[in-house]
Chain A
Amino acid sequence: MKKKILSVLCMCAMLFSLTACGAGSDEGSENSGSDDEITLRFSWWGGDSRHQATLDVIELYESKHPGIKIEAEYGGADGYKDKRMTEMAGKNAPDIMQIDAPWLYEMQTQFDAFADLSQFEDVLDMSGFDEDFVNSHCALDGTIYGLPTGINGTYMLMNTAILDAAGIDSAQEWTWDSLLEDGAKVHASDPEAYFLNLDQHSLTYHVLRPYIKQLTGEQFMNDDYTIGFTEEQLAEGLTYIKQLFDEGVMEPASESFMYIDAFYDNPIWVNNKVGADIDWTSSLSARMAGFADTAAVTKVPQMENAKDTGILVRPAQIMCISNTSEHQKEAAEFIDFFLNDEEAISILKLERSVPATEAARQQLTESGDLDEIVNSAVNLALENAGATENAISQDMQLENILTDAVENVGYGTASPEEIAKETYGLLEMKLEELKTK
């Protein structure tokens, strides 16, 4: 009997606490959802300065549009994609989202996450954006789901002080062969210095991939889930990477591969003992901060008779509207302001890389905010851009297999030919798996 009373009491206590808390939260949501004020959620990732600039633009927008409140949801890059995917599964995604262009395909096919932007053409001006660029990176099957915040391209950044000290002509037309030949001189003249500093990811993405694409001139992976290169061509690319280590162009893998995704934290980079790196323009100003006076940019090295430059151009990020948003039109108006308004552009500057519209670039050049080097790096990439990559070429699982191969080459576990053979088999297996999915 007593037991029963106790259990009933416990139940009551729990129910009471449930309802009490529930009531509290209801009040909260009523306040934010009142009729006269529209609240838009806007999420992005970034660093301190991007947060501040974006918040300033939001404040400006709110002052110009009374009745609209923009709730900023910002944070670091870590876990950002997980969170958005969970929200999309729960149909509770923010109205306006900054996403990375390669996520578009996955999120749209899996969750039908984004709204078609062309239906808002009367409030969202897309005329300033390059049509091909938007169509190839922010659209699926001809439907535009996002607009680029900026342009991101690949290029080679050099520290001319290091190159001059080793007697290397930095103004030359760089080829993979000259990189190998001249690059060795840096380490030869200063045992602490190296010509090229990359980690295993960037070495795969910015050396192996362009090298192979210049050999083949084809897509890296074909749309029919076959590999766009032969085993011999892969072996050739891996042999080249082995030479980079053997000739002392790069710091030994045991050191340089410790700085995964952060080769600019490598002491040789921090202490200005590096001649060059190859990476995206979006992080250029941060990476050249230590040697801004002697920095120079050039295009990604080319081989003779290259069939494709292998140089990539893509949006820094893209701005999308949630398909489940109740205020899509207001969201579109905000995106229009965010990307096209002169005041907004002058606040945001290069926080999301070099702007994608010609008008914004013009404006920032005139105001002196568009750094000469950053601008020339973007132009180099734009002028020499190779074929746009298809979706399958950007698959992360395939990329990881290649990264493993590069690691094995770096650590010298087997000959490049053996590694190429094994890797080729793994790629075929993974493609087969992706195809049947």
Chain B
Amino acid sequence: MSRKKSKLGVFGRYVFLVIVGIVTLLPLVWLFFATFKTNTEIFGSNSLLPSHFSFDSYIKGWQGSGQFTYGRFLLNSFLLTVPTVLFTIVSAISVGYGFARFNFRGKKVLKILLISTLMLPNAILIVPRYILFTELGWNNTYLTFYIPALLGCYPFFTYQMMQYFRGLPKELDEAARIDGCNSFSLLTKILLPLCKPAVCAVGLLQFIWIWNDYFNVNIYINSVSKYPVALGLRMSLDSQAAIDWSPILAMSLTAIIPCVVLFFAGQRYFVEGIASTGIKD
């Protein structure tokens, strides 16, 4: 009796999950099919499937508008994102480690400062940052992303790493020190291998955020030759002109692929990292 009941429960759970899964995936599926549709089909009909399949919109979309193809925009996105992510990881680890394991004068104040920058909305920082970058001559270069990442200007990740470090038992440090580790080799040899999930989570999240960022790149990057995908996609979206949607949707789908691949590749660590940063004993 009880077995039957639990089977039914499992069935019910699966039905529920399948429904939720469909609801979550539907926009993506719609996006995929919409890349084959004409404007009239997109707006004028409710059918999910297009009337015919052809890859014209992908070819047309890839050519982009004006001087550059999406090959350039995608390459730019990688040039922008990959170093920024690496720098973020380096700064988040070193600053997080410092806050979690060392005692120094002013630690409390600095920690409060770190948290308060976390609360500061990005929009407020735009103009002062822009003026600073202009003075330094960094505008229209990816330095506007690299340097803040290197200097720990993404406090969310620093905080995340700090919490993770704090969750690791201090006994490990003591044992390592007895075996002759200094602070640096303690970090690289003992703590970092244990931090793999958190580091992956930082990397993945930052990759997706920078890859999809529109506002900051729009402000700091001027030359079309340096546009990442996010800017490239909006290039032909004029408020007044008629927009041919299918090439844009086709390129949107293409732009999602790196993020999706990365997410599935690192998914195990990603979920683990997010879930365990809050735990402390």
A residues lining the B interface (CB < 8 Å):
2-3, 6, 10, 14, 17-18, 21-22, 25-26, 28-29, 41, 43, 45-52, 55, 71-79, 82-83, 86-87, 89-92, 94, 261, 264-267, 270-271, 280, 282-283, 286-287, 289-290
Complex contact B238–A25 (CB within 8 A)? no
- Bound-complex Cα distance A2 to B182 (A): 7
Shortest CB–CB separation between residue B60 and chain A, in angstroms? 10
B218 partner residues in chain A, CB cutoff 8 A = 75, 79, 82-83
Set of chain A residues within 8 Å of B214, measured between Cβ atoms: 79
Given contacts A22-B136, A47-B242, A283-B240, 8 further A-B contacts (CB under 8 A): A25-B143, A47-B236, A47-B240, A51-B235, A72-B67, A73-B223, A83-B219, A89-B130
Query: How far is it, in angstroms, between the C-alpha of A267 and the C-alpha of B46 when the chains are bound?
Result: 10
Nearest residue (CB) in A for B40 is: A270
Complex Cα–Cα for A18 and B147 (A): 7
Partner of A283, one of B39, B44, B241: B241
Residue of A whose beta carbon sits closest to that of B187: A6
Per-residue contact bits, chain B 124-141, to A (CB 8 Å; 1 contact, 0 not): 001100110010111101
Q: Across the interface, do B222 and A78 meet the contact criterion of CB distance under 8 Å?
A: no
Interface residues on B, range: 35 or more
- Residue on A with the closest CB to B244? A48
How long is the Cα–Cα vector from A43 to B219 in the complex, in angstroms?
Answer: 13
Within the complex, the shortest CB–CB distance from A278 to chain B, in Å, comes to 15
Q: Check if B121 is an interface residue, CB within 8 A of chain A.
A: no
Contact B184 A89 (CB under 8 A): no
Q: How far is the CB of A313 from chain B (nearest CB, A)?
A: 16
Number of A-B contacts (CB under 8 A): 133
B30 to chain A, nearest CB (A): 15
Residues of B within 8 A of A282 (CB): 240
Within 8 A of A (CB), among B60-95: 65-67, 94
Q: Which residues of B contact A21 (CB under 8 A)?
A: 143, 146-147
Chain B residues in 8 Å Cβ range of A89: 127, 130-131
B127 near A14 (CB under 8 angstroms)?
Answer: no
Q: Mark B145-187, 1 if CB is under 8 A from A, else 0.
A: 0110011000000000000000000000000000000111000
| B150 near A73: Cβ-Cβ < 8 Å | no
Q: Does B189 contact A (CB under 8 A)?
A: no
Q: Which of B66, B147, B240, B241 contacts A74 (CB 8 A)?
A: B66
B127 to chain A: closest residue by CB = A89
Task: With A48-B244, A270-B43 as known contacts, state yes or no: A14 contacts B236, CB within 8 Å.
Answer: no
Compute how far the CA of A252 lies from the CA of B102 in the bound complex, rounded to whole angstroms. 65
- Closest B residue to A279 by beta carbon equals B240
B43 A10 Cβ-Cβ under 8 A? no
Residues of B within 8 Å of A46, CB to CB, are 238, 241
Give Cα A267 to B47, complex, Å: 13
B231 within 8 A of A: yes
Give Cα A14 to B152, complex, Å: 11
Write the nearest CB–CB distance from A432 to chain B, whole angstroms: 27
Within 8 Å of chain A (Cβ to Cβ): is B209?
A: no
Q: What are 13 contact pairs spanning A and B, CB under 8 A?
A: A2-B183, A3-B102, A21-B143, A25-B138, A29-B137, A47-B241, A48-B66, A48-B244, A51-B235, A75-B235, A83-B219, A90-B134, A286-B240
Residues of B within 8 A of A82 (CB): 215, 218-219
Min CB gap B229→A, angstroms? 13
* B23-64 CB contacts (< 8 Å) to partner A: 39-40, 43-44
Q: Contact partner of A286 among B43, B147, B151, B242, CB < 8 A?
A: B242
Closest to B234 in A: A76
CB contacts (< 8 Å) of B274 on chain A: these are none
| Closest CB pairs A-B (n = 9) | A47-B241, A286-B242, A76-B237, A47-B238, A76-B234, A48-B65, A270-B44, A283-B240, A48-B236
- Alpha-carbon gap, A79 to B214, bound state (A): 9
A198: min CB distance to chain B, Å: 15
Set of chain A residues within 8 Å of B182, measured between Cβ atoms: 2, 6
Using CB atoms, name the residue of chain B closest to A80.
B218
At the interface, yes or no: B2 with Cβ under 8 Å from chain A? no
| Nearest Cβ on chain B to A260's Cβ, whole angstroms | 11
A17 to chain B, nearest CB (A): 6
Residue B243 at the chain A interface, CB threshold 8 Å: yes
CB-CB under 8 A from B116, the residues of chain A are none
- Judging by beta carbons under 8 Å apart, are A86 and B127 in contact? yes
Partner of A75 from the list B127, B141, B151, B231 (CB cut-off 8 Å) is B231
Known A17-B150, A55-B66, A91-B134: A74·B224 in contact at CB below 8 Å: yes
Q: Do A287 and B242 touch across chains, with their CB atoms under 8 A apart?
A: yes
Alpha-carbon distance A49/B231, docked complex (angstroms): 17
Q: How far is the CB of A178 from chain B (nearest CB, A)?
A: 29
CB distance from A25 to the nearest CB of B (A): 5
Return chain B residues, CB-CB under 8 Å to A50: 238, 241
What mask results when residues 197 to 234 of chain B are scored 1 for a CB within 8 Å of chain A, else 0? 00000000000000000110011001110010001001
